[in-house]
Structure 1
Amino acid sequence: MGPDVFTFGETMVALRGSGPLKLGGTMNVSIAGAESNVAIGLARLGHDVHWSGAVGEDEAGQLVLRTLRAEGVEVSGASADPDAPTGLILFEPRLPEITRVHYYRAGSAGSRLKPSAIEQAFSAAPPRVLHLTGITPALSPTARSATQLALQLASEHCSLVCLDVNFRARLWTAEEAAGVLREWMPYVDTLIASDDELPLCLPTGGAGAEGDTAPAPGDPAATLAAQAKLLLKLGVGEVVVKLGSAGATAFTDDGSLHRPARSVRAVDPVGAGDAFVAGYLSALLDGEDLTGRLERAVTTGAFAVASPGDWEGAPTRSELGMLGARPGTVVR
């Protein structure tokens, strides 16, 4: 039997500064990567998760693999590249709710991911769910080929495909991203995106094409619904839109459902989207209905917002109910 979820991509060493980088100061060392953040979130919720990727044959790469193993993520499909370093990401807090991010990943081992790693994962034991992001295909031609192969193999092995758009303007342009993502839509079962990322997945012409009635200008909710309807017509099974502090809305052929965000004291928004995805996929694997999937997703997202770091605040299954406790409660 294959794993619950297989995912792959670049995971970097993460340095979090205590203030402006130009002033020096202390830095905390950890790891960060959208796919591995989701993998850790799922593993903490009790799921069997496999992650693949390439790290440098260096101490930074050992930190990545050691951390993932310690969190219960299977990394036997990962590789160490002797000719390229592990990528680096720096987080620079500048204002209470604003953090600048600096990437040092050009030419990194993670960007040199090859399709052979994907072939190995599917030949060993096809997963129930393949989780992809729009980050990996932006890293390099070989990484893009790996994601395309993963979609093909998932289709052949009847693995459910989850795509989190996760657009990164520093890696590729919106036009480049749209050119790739639009071709993926027929393969995608669960599409997760923020409201401003959704247009990247739409065919040329967007909402209102193919005879649909275009929504009135200035009506964001109607525009979102029209875009989701068009994606569902293209074959996407469900469209889940992350709305930040406004919660999330999911669209299926049966209609739509909205869930507000859980109320918590915001500490660090970084990683909230990945935590949301982990919660959603966890509930999906558990057989929860749309209500249950959204509820778990906004809950795990709230844990991330209320904790510093990309993945450190991800809850275990036994902790999911903690947000319902009264303020000041001591959990024993």
Structure 2
Amino acid sequence: MSEIDLLVIGHTCFDYIMQVKEFSKVNTSALVTNLEQLHGGAAGNVAVIASKMGLDVDLISCVGKDFIGSKYESQLIDDGVNIANMIVADNLNTPTAFVLTNPEDQQMFYFYWGAAKKYSTTPINEAAILDAEAMHIATGDPEYNIKCAKFAYANDKLVSFDPGQDLTLYTTQNLHDMLQNCNILFGNEHEIECICDLLEMNIDEILDYGPGIIVKSLGSNGSEIYQEREDPIHIDALTVKAEDPTGAGDSYRAAFLSQYLRGNDVKMCGEFASTVASYIVQAQGTQTNIPTQDQVLEKMNDFYND
């Protein structure tokens, strides 16, 4: 029996969230009116929320020397995430995201790859994969992710995949390799459409080709769950005042997997995931407003059973 419920592979990052009056033009500066340093990265987010939802979680990310002894390292330990298998680059800093938002809620993103360069020279951790019941692959190095997926899938592990904003790093062949070695594909509406276009397949054809489940998030319009030879299931989104919608996707994936690995049907998984996401988006940062499982179940039952 596996000791770990879920192994999460991908980025753990420091996030700098900035509010600006306007975006600067070339050779000029712009005033930053608010600055927050938060803990993020798609894999880090999924690991923390999955752990809070009751799973035993292992996290593998490439981090830098600045991660050791950091508040983020301490938080992951306190949240019950196993970080013994993290890949540390002693000569580089941890991947860092810079997010700038203007008063019109338009955004600009800059990403420092940093220690993530080490994926390309690091062997996959076969022991960690074998020790887990399931593996979720988030943003990160495509070649490393594919190697992990192939090994896990060949050893009968449940594999889920969410390329997120790193979808542009995947070649068409990369996507073919990944989708033939995963059970669940997650993505937002744009990402799923891009994957369909790159592979020249529709959703039904992708289901026949590889993953048996595709989960497509639709923002405030909820989400849709597709399975082979079954009608799509639509999950309504809960209506809340969103402070920061960027964390909705990672929290949804983590919560969905927390229920799927317990044997619940995909409709219940989607409703649970949507409810968790409704809490997350009400605060800045993905890891700052995580509900308890009891809170989620109560709110979910109130909303979806009416």
Please give the TM-score of this superposition, normalised by the length of structure 2. Answer: 0.86
Of 87, 90, 103, 1:95 maps to: 103
Of 184, 205, 210, 1:190 maps to: 184
Could you tell me which runs of 5 or more consecutive residues in structure 1 were left unpaired when the two chains were aligned. 138-143, 208-226, 327-332
| 1:229 aligned partner, one-letter code | D
Aligned to 1:244: 219
Alignment of 1:149-298 (within 5 A): 149-168=147-166, 172=169, 176-202=170-196, 206-207=200-201, 227-253=202-228, 254-298=230-274
Of 123, 126, 129, 1:116 maps to: 123
Aligned to 2:84: 76
3-state SS of paired residue (1:167): helix
1:180 and 1:119 map into 2 onto residues whose CA distance is 20
2:94 and 2:68 map into 1 onto residues whose CA distance is 6
| 2:179 aligned partner, one-letter code | M
| 1:136 aligned partner, one-letter code | G
1:251 and 1:56 map into 2 onto residues whose CA distance is 38
- Check 1:314–1:43 CA distance in 2 against 1; reply closer, same or farther (3 A cut): same
Q: Deviation string for 1:88-107 (max 9, x for gaps)?
A: 222323136444332222xx
Tell me by how many angstroms 1:316 deviates.
2.1
Q: Is the CA contact (8 Å cut-off) linking 1:10 and 1:53 kept in structure 2?
A: yes
| 1:130 aligned partner, one-letter code | M
1:101 and 1:61 map into 2 onto residues whose CA distance is 27
Of 283, 289, 292, 1:313 maps to: 289
Tell me by how many angstroms 1:149 deviates.
1.9
Name whichever of 95-104 and 28-37 sits farther off. 95-104
Could you tell me which runs of 5 or more consecutive residues in structure 2 were left unpaired when the two chains were aligned. 24-29
Q: CA RMSD in A?
A: 2.4
Aligned to 1:146: 144
- Check 1:245–1:4 CA distance in 2 against 1; reply closer, same or farther (3 A cut): same
Aligned to 2:134: 129
2:198 and 2:221 map into 1 onto residues whose CA distance is 28
Tell me by how many angstroms 1:318 deviates.
1.9
- Check 1:69–1:99 CA distance in 2 against 1; reply closer, same or farther (3 A cut): farther
Aligned to 2:26: none
1:194 and 1:200 map into 2 onto residues whose CA distance is 10
Tell me by how many angstroms 1:299 deviates.
0.9
Q: Is the CA contact (8 Å cut-off) linking 1:54 and 1:81 kept in structure 2?
A: yes
Tell me by how many angstroms 1:111 deviates.
2.8
Please give the TM-score of this superposition, normalised by the length of structure 1. Answer: 0.80
- Check 1:29–1:195 CA distance in 2 against 1; reply closer, same or farther (3 A cut): closer
Aligned to 1:46: 54
Q: Is the CA contact (8 Å cut-off) linking 1:13 and 1:60 kept in structure 2?
A: no
